[in-house]
A and B are shown apart, each in its own frame.
Chain A
Amino acid sequence: MTAPTTGPAPAPLGPLHVTATVLASRKVGAYHHLTLVAPGVPERFRPGTFVALSVGDEPGALSARLGRRSFWIHRVRASGGHGLTVEIVVEVVGPGTAWLAGLPVGSRVATTGPLGRPFSLPKEAVRCVLVGSGHAAAPLFPLAERLRERGCAVSLVVAAPDEAHLLSALEARRSARAVTVVTGDGSVGLRGAVADHLAEILARAGADVVYAAGPSPVLHAVAQAAETHGAWSQTALEEPLVCATGLCHGCAVPVVGEDGAPRTARACVDGPVFRGDRVRWADLTGSPR
C-alpha cells in the first residue's frame, strides 16, 4: 500500500527550539529571575506551560550534560527594543541550575518552548483559589491575570518554607483579590504547611476551582482538599524531565484515564497540568502513602 505523501501539519501553537539571549538576571531571595529574549516563544505562551533549557555550553556545541532543565514561565512582558520576553525562576539545586544562575547578561541558551499542556480556563466567571509552593508559584501569577480578565474571583495562596523562598508575594496583590501567605517557619503570614490551611482557605473563598503548582505532596493535599470541598482541581506537576518534549518516556505519571482504567502518562506532554482527581497520587514516586 502506498501512503499519501504529505508534509507535517502546520503547528502554529507548537513549541519552538530557539537560541535565547539572557536580557536580565537578578537574585530575588533564594531564587534567580532570568529574563530571556526567545523569539516566538512568548507569543505562544499560556499559563502552565514551561521552557526547557540546555546547560553547560553555547548552543550548537554538544554539552557533556545532555538532560534539559525545565522552568515554568513566570511572566511574559514587553521589554523596550526586544519585543516580548519570558521570565523564569531558577532555584539552584545542582550544577546545571547553578550554571544558568551564573550566566552573564547577553549569554545565549538553547531554549525549547512553550512546552506542555497549560491550565484549563473556566468558561464562566467562577471563584478560583490558586496555590503555589516555593518557586512553583511562578505560573500562577499569569494564570491569575487571565482568570481576572474572565471575571473570576481569584484568591492566591503563596507558600514556602521561609521568607527567602516566598515567590513575589508583594506583587501577588496586583493579580489577585485576596492573598494568603504561608511559611513553614512562620516568618511571614500563616505558620505551617499549606495543607494545614487549605480547608479553611477553600471554604472562605467558596472555591469552585483550585489551581495548584508545587511538589507532589502539596498537590496531593490540594487535590484531596478540593474534593472534600466539592471543587475541581488542576495540579501542575514538577516531575524531573529529561528531554521535556515527550520523546524519552522518562517522566511517568500514574493517572486514571477517562474510562477509569489506570494508565501511565508523561508529565511533559500529557501534563504538566493534570486534573487532581485523575492522578494516582499514592503511586506517584515520592508521594507519601
Chain B
Amino acid sequence: MTLTMAGLTLASPVLVASGCGGTGRELVPFLDLTALGAFVTRSITLDPRSGGPMPRLVESPAGLVNAVGFHNLGLENFLATELPWLVQRGVRVVVSIAGSTMGEYADLARRLGSAPGVAAIEVNLSAPDSAGSGVLDVREPFHAGGVVSAVRRDLPRGIPVLAKLRGDVVRVVEAARTVLEAGAEAVVVGNAHPAAMPDGRPGGLSGPAIRPLVLRSVAEVHAALPDATVVACGGISTAADARSFLAAGATAVQVGTALLHDPTTVARMITDLEGPR
C-alpha cells in the first residue's frame, strides 16, 4: 500500500509517532521497521538533555500523561549513532526537532539537511511540556510560521518539512494555514494535549482519550484547506481508527501511545490496512 506524502513515497500510511518508538532499535523484535511509512524520532535538541524528573508518565483513563522533558542525546550524538543505525537498515527516517530559540531550529535544520538519509524534518511546534522544559513555547500561529520559515530557509528543497501542530480545534486551521504559507509541505495535526501531571507540572495527555478531539481538528483542517497534506496523530490505536482519519482527509497517520501499551500494534495495523475492511 504505497502512497505519496509531501513528495515522499511511503510503504504504508502508518508512521511511528515522535517520542513513542525509543531509538528504533527497541522496536526491532516487534516490527519490521522497513514496512513503516516512516519512523519519526523523538524530538532531537541541539544539546543533550537528561529530561525531567520522575515520574514522567502516569496513567489517566484511556490515556497517559507525560512530562518526559525532551530526554535525548543531542544532535551531535544522534548524527553519529542513532541516525546511521536507522539509515543503514533502510528505515525511512523523519527527524523531529525542538529548539529553545528560532536560531536553534534553523541550526538543527541546516545540520540535518546535510546528513545522509534524512527523509523529512518534523518541526515540533506543539510540545505540551515545552514551557517547563526550556523549549520554545509556540502559542501563536505566527510564531509557528516564523519557526517554519527559518527551518525551510536552511533546509535543502528535497527535504520536506512537516509542521506538528496542537490538536486543539480552536486555532488549528489558522495555524495550519500559517505554517503552509511559511513553506511547510505538510501539517501533522495533533500532539499530546496540554494537561498536567498529578503534582501540577505541565504535561501532555495522549492515547484514545484524545482521539475524537484530533479527528475533529483533522476534519476541519481538511475542509478549510482541501489541498493541504495532513498527517493525523492522536490516540490512533487500530486499523479502524486509521481508516476513520484517512476518510476525514488525512494522508497518513502516526501511532504513538498505542505502541507503549502493545509494541506489536503498528505491525498489526500495517497488515490490517493492507487487507479488506
Contact = CB atoms under 8 A, between A and B. Distances in A.
Interface of A: 1, 3-9, 11, 14-17, 54, 62-68, 110, 112, 239-240, 242-243, 245-252, 254, 262-264, 269, 285-286
Nearest to B72: A249
Contact of A264 (B42, B51, B58): B51
Contacts of B68: 248-250
A70 to B, nearest CB: 13
Interface of B: 19-23, 25-34, 42, 50-51, 53-59, 61-64, 66, 68, 71, 87-91, 116-117, 207-208, 237-238, 257-264
B117 A240 contact: no
A11 B263 CA distance: 15
A147 B108 CA distance: 49
Q: Is the interface of B mostly helix, strand, loop or mixed?
A: loop
A63 B261 contact: yes
Contacts of A66: 59, 62-64, 207, 257, 260-261
Contacts of A239: 54
A249 B64 contact: no
15 contacts: A1-B116, A3-B89, A5-B90, A6-B89, A7-B32, A8-B28, A17-B263, A62-B237, A64-B62, A240-B54, A242-B260, A243-B260, A248-B260, A252-B56, A254-B50
A67 B153 CA distance: 41
Interface centre among A6, A252, A285 (most CB of B within 10 A): A252
Contact of A68 (B25, B50, B56, B261): B261
Contacts of A3: 87-91, 117
B259 to A, nearest CB: 6
Contacts of B30: 17, 245
B56 A249 contact: yes
Contacts of B31: 8
A8 B260 CA distance: 20
Contacts of B57: 67, 242, 248, 250
A67 B262 contact: no
A252 B71 contact: yes
Contact of B61 (A4, A64, A247, A252): A64
Given A4-B88, A66-B207, A239-B54, A269 B22 contact: yes
Given A14-B29, A68-B261, 7 more contacts: A3-B117, A4-B88, A242-B260, A248-B19, A248-B20, A249-B56, A264-B71
Contact of A247 (B22, B90, B238): B22
Nearest to B264: A17
Contacts of B62: 62, 64, 66
A249 B51 contact: yes
Contact of B26 (A6, A63, A68, A269): A269
A239 B22 CA distance: 18
Contacts of B261: 54, 62-63, 66-68, 243
Nearest to A112: B263
B150 to A, nearest CB: 25
Contact of B262 (A8, A16, A54): A54
Contacts of A14: 28-29
Nearest to A62: B237
Contact of B90 (A6, A112, A242, A250): A6
A8 B91 CA distance: 10
B19 A249 contact: yes
Contact of A67 (B28, B59, B87, B88): B59
Q: Which of B20, B22, B91, B259 has the most CB of A within 10 A?
A: B22
B245 to A, nearest CB: 16
A246 B30 CA distance: 12
A233 to B, nearest CB: 22
Contacts of A286: 54
A50 to B, nearest CB: 15
Nearest to B89: A6
Contacts of B20: 247-248
Contacts of B56: 242, 248-252
A14 B237 CA distance: 24
Contacts of B88: 3-4
Nearest to B260: A243
Nearest to A95: B59
A110 B262 contact: yes
B59 A8 contact: no
Contact of A246 (B22, B34, B87, B208): B22
